[in-house]
Structure 1
Amino acid sequence: MATLTPKSKIVIVGSGVFGISTALWLAKSGYEDVTVLDMQDTASAAYDPLSGIDSASADLNKIIRFSYGSEIEYQRLATEAAGLWEEWNREIAATPADELPERLREGDRKLWWNAGMLRMSSEDDFGDFEVATLENMEREGIRESQFKADDEADIARAKERGWAHKLDPCRRQERFGSHKAVLDSTAGFVYAYKSCAWAQHLAKRAGVKMILDPLRGKVVDIATKDDRPVVVTADGLEIAADLVVVAGGGWTPSLVPEVQGLLETTAGSVANIQIPKDQSDLWSRFGPEIQPVITWGSRQGKDVYSIPRDENGIFKIGWRSRKWTNFQDVGGRRISVPKTAHVTEEKETRIPIDALNGIKEFITINFPELVPLGISSTRLCWYTDSIDNSFVVDLVPGRPGVAVCSGGSGHGFKFLPILGREVVKILEGKGGQTVYGQMWKWRNSPGAKRNGLEEGEQGPRVLSRQKMAEEGDWRFTV
């Protein structure tokens, strides 16, 4: 690929976190001809999943955490991103309402909520990940922000700093006589769709062009002509570029066959409980002022999270013990592709019954007061796993001028304000000089594959083999 210049024509496929952050930082770095293509009109719908947008980025909310076990580089980048989330909150608060994206003019006019995150064990001891996280935070000098729920010194410090009320929101010590948890007072959540809408607003303001349309913005092929990449859209238009960055989330493997074995499209399982505003006690208890983000895990495979209710009363619970695949024919290959509520030809809003039962178990044990409300909706959240949970940002071998920016593996959203800064360095050929360029480079597995990429269509995670939960399963059996 020729060296990029400020006049280079750069096309980004996808307006989710990876795409929009890259576009924003390219513009901030002086690149004048950046265009984002997307088959969904994320501008008009402001990325809102309730308005028909399907992607991992188009979500109600996302966890912002800094606990990364032994992965200190991700912990450091997440901590740096936290400062930019704070900047975005301040900028939005200082911006006149009529100059904000429409979805940010009403309701909560902030993106990032420092509600804390309670890493809660379902057992009587901490797992290896928790132990490694605390050791790393000790070395980094930020252990003071972590409060163990059964440590007297930590409890006293939590009281001094106003966090004690979030140490045991499920009253586990009172009800079960045991409560193993660590409260991370630096963590919390963001309104995901509003955050993407704000990033898109900043990118447009910086000069990035957007083509967000089911035909003109839908990329069906990326060809090569005269050693340059050419993007072909669903309406037959051909767009020649100096660089094409494929940041299509769950649709990336469909556009770049070379990622097979390195990236795979998978779905997480999400359920929502609608908390009525007229039930003031529940409304207050599950708001971010009282309720932290909660993760609930064990060595036996329990892996569930919850996020405080949003401004509309939606309490979101996610099940992460297993991620699902959906294999179809794409260009003569059998690969996993999204099957969403709105965009794909085959629609799906249900989740597997195993996932729903795991979510219901979490609610029944930890929040029995929500049992009478029942589940109000479910969805599959489609994203892209990498072979080792680390992102993939690099030029595609043998494809002049084509790069991949993907592999969020369920933990990419928190980096929205800062991810593009590191991506630009890689696209400029400086990846070998940065720790993230080395971490995110094109690679093969040195040993056993992770994330189930070795299973293929015969594996246990294939969606067509699951019993899907129907609406009648949403009710709790009391």
Structure 2
Amino acid sequence: MSRTDYDVVVVGVGGMGSATLYHLARRGARVCGVEQFTPGHPLGSSHGETRIIRKAYFEHPDYLPLLERAYQLWREWETESGERLFVENGLLLAGEENSEVIRGLEACYAAHDLPHERLSGRDAKSRFPQFSIPDDFVAYYDPVAGFLYVERCVLQLVRLARAAGAEIFTGEKVVRWSSVKNGLHVRTTRKEIRTKKLIITAGAWSTELLKRLHLPLEVWRKVVLWYDSPNISDYRLGVFPTFYVETEAGGFYGFPAVDELGVKIGEHVQARLTEPERIARELLPGDEDPTRRFIEQTFPGFQPKRTRFSVCMYTMTPDHNFVIDSCPGEPDVLFAAGFSGHGFKFAPVVGEVLADLALTRATGHPVAFLGLDRLRGQP
């Protein structure tokens, strides 16, 4: 086996890892990424064509400063890459007045001066006649939201990181890491690497690599589905918004038809526990039933014909907020995990935070609320 020396090794080259590699390489660090598959692969959490990006943040108002920086960087990277990465087509969010999504949005808008419109269920139906939203629902429209082309984002970040000097080893899995005098050893299935700093952004595989931390993470199996309809022109980009609707049956999100596959819809909050090495990647009995019922209730004019499905994973923390920190007793080992189904949009700023911490041990970004200490003692 050969040994190669680096300033930083990044394990996992999905959304977070590719962004981290970019920032480190642009700052002149000698950096490599180790990816067990290939960038843009469909086996983790950074795939499926599109991801929502929004400032209407009901999960926690402290995400807003991070979102502002993420928006800025996505726009910069779109220009730098020459590819369209970000489509700003607006987002409709709806739920009962006392629902988690509406209460969270109102807290967010009270804390931050953000463009938005508050609509009654009836107003939302008038504005977007494709939807059948109960009259007693409340809706918010976020005009600066939209979606990211997820695989395109990862592949362009990998290209830009390589152009800045990063090396990326693919088809190579990290099997263990250990501290040694003046650094760390990272053993992969092909070689041993010596590094000063280690950053783990391995998604659902993070728990295995951070076993000593006993992180209270769960991996959820999630299914997203694409549908065509005879009236698909009413649901295409330009006339139909990105959306999130919270119902008694769960929270459902979706995207306009951007290609021949049609509208993409997923269920966000229901848990089906799995493990990354054992996940069922086929469509199981019952997988589609909640989405079919949601379509029937919410889009009565839509006649769904499934064109595609995809299985992905959410890596969940108990409070559904991310965890970004160093390993206790191992200040040169950093990690970002538990993105809980809403993390991809933050990849540019998460990568910047991790690069800051690796190179200077500090960051100017407000990420203290995402620290590890809050999860201590969680089951």
8 Å Cα contact 1:120-1:295 kept in structure 2: yes
Q: Cα gap change, 1:146/1:433 in structure 2, threshold over 3 Å: closer, same or farther? A: closer
8 Å Cα contact 2:253-2:265 kept in structure 1: yes
User: How many corresponding residue pairs?
Assistant: 375
Q: Which residue of 2 aligns with 1:387?
A: 318
Q: SS of the residue aligned with 2:130? A: coil
Q: Which residue of 1 aligns with 2:75?
A: 86
Q: Cα gap change, 1:91/1:445 in structure 2, threshold over 3 Å: closer, same or farther? A: closer
**Residue identity (%):** 23
Displacement of 1:187 after TM fit?
0.7
8 Å Cα contact 1:270-1:319 kept in structure 2: yes
8 Å Cα contact 1:61-1:191 kept in structure 2: yes
Q: Which residue of 2 aligns with 1:270?
A: 224
Q: Which residue of 2 aligns with 1:296?
A: 245
Amino acid at match of 2:282: T
Q: Within 2, Cα distance between the matches of 1:35 and 1:414?
A: 23
Correspondence 1:240 to 2:194: yes
Q: Which residue of 1 aligns with 2:106?
A: 134
Q: Within 2, Cα distance between the matches of 1:171 and 1:303?
A: 15
Displacement of 1:74 after TM fit?
0.5
Give runs of aligned pairs for residues 351-362 of structure 1, distance below 5 A: 351=284, 353=286, 355-362=287-294
Q: Within 2, Cα distance between the matches of 1:308 and 1:351?
A: 25
Q: Cα gap change, 1:11/1:197 in structure 2, threshold over 3 Å: closer, same or farther? A: same
Q: Which residue of 2 aligns with 1:348?
A: 281
Displacement of 1:352 after TM fit?
6.0
Q: Residue 151 of structure 2: which of 159, 174, 193 is its match?
A: 193
Q: Cα gap change, 1:397/1:182 in structure 2, threshold over 3 Å: closer, same or farther? A: same
> Deviations along 1:153-186, whole A, 9 cap, x unmatched?
xx7xxxxxxxx8993243426xx65553211111
Q: Which residue of 2 aligns with 1:10?
A: 8
Amino acid at match of 2:132: R
Correspondence 1:222 to 2:155: no
Displacement of 1:79 after TM fit?
2.6
TM-score between the two structures when normalised by the length of structure 2: 0.88
Structure of higher CA gyration radius: 1
Q: SS of the residue aligned with 1:141? A: coil
Displacement of 1:337 after TM fit?
3.2
Displacement of 1:286 after TM fit?
1.6
Q: Residue 287 of structure 1: which of 207, 230, 236 is its match?
A: 236
Q: Which has the higher contact order (CA 8 A, sep 6+)?
A: 2
Displacement of 1:405 after TM fit?
2.0
Displacement of 1:114 after TM fit?
0.9
Displacement of 1:38 after TM fit?
0.5
Q: Cα gap change, 1:351/1:137 in structure 2, threshold over 3 Å: closer, same or farther? A: farther
Q: Cα gap change, 1:228/1:321 in structure 2, threshold over 3 Å: closer, same or farther? A: same
Amino acid at match of 2:283: R
- Bigger proportion of residues as strand: 2
TM-score between the two structures when normalised by the length of structure 1: 0.71
Q: Within 1, Cα distance between the matches of 2:28 and 2:129?
A: 48
Q: Which residue of 1 aligns with 2:375?
A: 445
8 Å Cα contact 2:130-2:234 kept in structure 1: no
Q: Residue 181 of structure 1: which of 139, 160, 180 is its match?
A: 139
Q: SS of the residue aligned with 2:372? A: coil
Q: Which residue of 1 aligns with 2:31?
A: 34
Q: Which residue of 1 aligns with 2:306?
A: 375
8 Å Cα contact 2:327-2:335 kept in structure 1: yes
Q: Within 2, Cα distance between the matches of 1:264 and 1:431?
A: 29
> Deviations along 1:447-475, whole A, 9 cap, x unmatched?
7x5xxxx4xxxxxxxxxxxxxxxxxxxxx
Q: Cα gap change, 1:257/1:446 in structure 2, threshold over 3 Å: closer, same or farther? A: closer
8 Å Cα contact 1:351-1:378 kept in structure 2: no
Q: SS of the residue aligned with 1:229? A: strand
Q: Which runs of 5+ in 1 are unaligned?
A: 1-6, 96-108, 156-163, 327-335, 341-346, 455-478
Q: Which runs of 5+ in 2 are unaligned?
A: none
Amino acid at match of 2:315: T
8 Å Cα contact 1:231-1:238 kept in structure 2: yes
8 Å Cα contact 2:132-2:300 kept in structure 1: no
Q: Which residue of 1 aligns with 2:94?
A: 120
Amino acid at match of 1:146: H
Displacement of 1:339 after TM fit?
3.6
> Deviations along 1:4-58, whole A, 9 cap, x unmatched?
xxx9521111101111111111122231x1000101122xxxx1x5xxx311112
8 Å Cα contact 1:56-1:381 kept in structure 2: yes
Report the RMSD for the aligned CA atoms in angstroms.
2.8
Amino acid at match of 2:130: C
> Deviations along 1:320-360, whole A, 9 cap, x unmatched?
2322222xxxxxxxxx43445xxxxxx5222562x522111
Q: Which residue of 2 aligns with 1:69?
A: 58
> Deviations along 1:38-85, whole A, 9 cap, x unmatched?
01122xxxx1x5xxx311112211011212237222122113322332
Correspondence 1:318 to 2:251: no
8 Å Cα contact 2:91-2:143 kept in structure 1: yes
Amino acid at match of 2:299: F
Q: Within 1, Cα distance between the matches of 2:59 and 2:204?
A: 27
Q: Which residue of 1 aligns with 2:120?
A: 150
Q: Cα gap change, 1:401/1:338 in structure 2, threshold over 3 Å: closer, same or farther? A: same
Q: Cα gap change, 1:207/1:242 in structure 2, threshold over 3 Å: closer, same or farther? A: same
Displacement of 1:433 after TM fit?
6.3
> Deviations along 1:212-259, whole A, 9 cap, x unmatched?
12xxx2111213333632111123x11111112111111111122024
The more displaced of 424-433 and 200-209 is 424-433
Q: Cα gap change, 1:388/1:135 in structure 2, threshold over 3 Å: closer, same or farther? A: closer
Q: Within 1, Cα distance between the matches of 2:216 and 2:360?
A: 21
8 Å Cα contact 1:294-1:305 kept in structure 2: yes
Q: Cα gap change, 1:273/1:11 in structure 2, threshold over 3 Å: closer, same or farther? A: same
Q: Within 2, Cα distance between the matches of 1:77 and 1:385?
A: 20
